[in-house]
Amino acid sequence: MTALFSRFAASLLSCVSITFFIASSRANPAPSVCLRDLAPQIEAIVNRPNFVRSRFGVFIQTLGTRQTLYSRDAEQFFIPASNVKILTTAAALRGLSPTYRIRTSVYGTETPDGWRVRLVGRGDPSFSDRQLKDLVQQLKQRGIQRISELIVEDSYFGRDAVNSDWAVGDIQATYAVPVSSLILNENGLGLKVLPQALGQPLKVEWDDPTEANRWKIDNRSRTVGAKAEEFIEVGRDLSQPILKVTGQLHVGSEPSMNGVAIPNPGEYFLRKFVRSLNDAGMTIA
């Protein structure tokens, strides 16, 4: 467990009032703590027996004078907890400004055989099917009818899309999708699992039916009666497009909404791009 203590302080008088946020307990405002008691009280928390296998990085300083009040492994590296996204967002807003927009650019060169089209992704996390269709319409309005060569570039970040420090059990989930230069629909596929007649396996319906043919389903689920326990687990094979469904739902119960991370975002983006171009009447040689 990693507990993050933010760089935080109150005005330093004879005592300081500090609120701790600890991953293992609810965040409650602490009473005023005298400076001389600050270190012993923090040590009493982090040295509890149930934290024996945990690491704590703590750094507390005053906002005004930047006086350090307490430091414990403040310069060490930690695998970030999910709440670091708040600081990451703040840093991005400060460095880029709220008006900054991530570009997905398309470059074209006309040749005797048609257009050579190159799309360059820069990791826009909000890029969806709607933006893709808008982009295709812009190309159509330019008079492009035949594409002799189509290239999508996924090298802007220049690194692996899946972080090597992520837990293996997480990388199949939609909260741990690959972080790539070409992101479409948040690099996740949505689906729902529905009950059928008593004793039958649950039915799987994809949000994007065109992707269903690319997946095999290992369905070990079933529809049960009202007195049975309900539970659902949906995941995928890590090396190939196999969806794994286990669990059970009551007859007539509401669908279970689920999702999986896309194994290869670049191929998925290209496949959807080609389909959108064809739907708009453009041919690709």
pLDDT by residue (tens digit) across 244-269?
Answer: 999 999 999 999 999 999 989 999 99
Domain end (from 62, 78, 96): 96
According to the model, what pLDDT value does residue 17 have?
34
Answer whether residue 77 is part of any domain. yes
In the chain, pLDDT over 70 holds for what percent of residues? 89
Cα 281 from Cα 49, distance rounded (Å): 67
Q: Which residues pair with 258 in a beta bridge?
A: 191
pTM exceeds 0.85 for this model: no
With a cut of 50, list the residues of the chain below it in pLDDT: 1-26
What range defines the domain where residue 209 resides? 189-260
Quote the number of domains for the chain.
Answer: 2
Cα 170–chain centre separation: 11
Strand partners, 181: none
Residue 132, in any domain of the structure: no
pLDDT in tens, 129-153: 999 999 999 999 999 999 999 999 9
Q: What does the pLDDT read at residue 31?
A: 67
Q: Per the domain annotation, does 24 fall within a domain?
A: yes
Residue 228, domain member (yes or no): yes
Task: Determine contact, residues 280/140, Cβ cutoff 8 Å.
Answer: yes
| pLDDT on residue 198 | 97
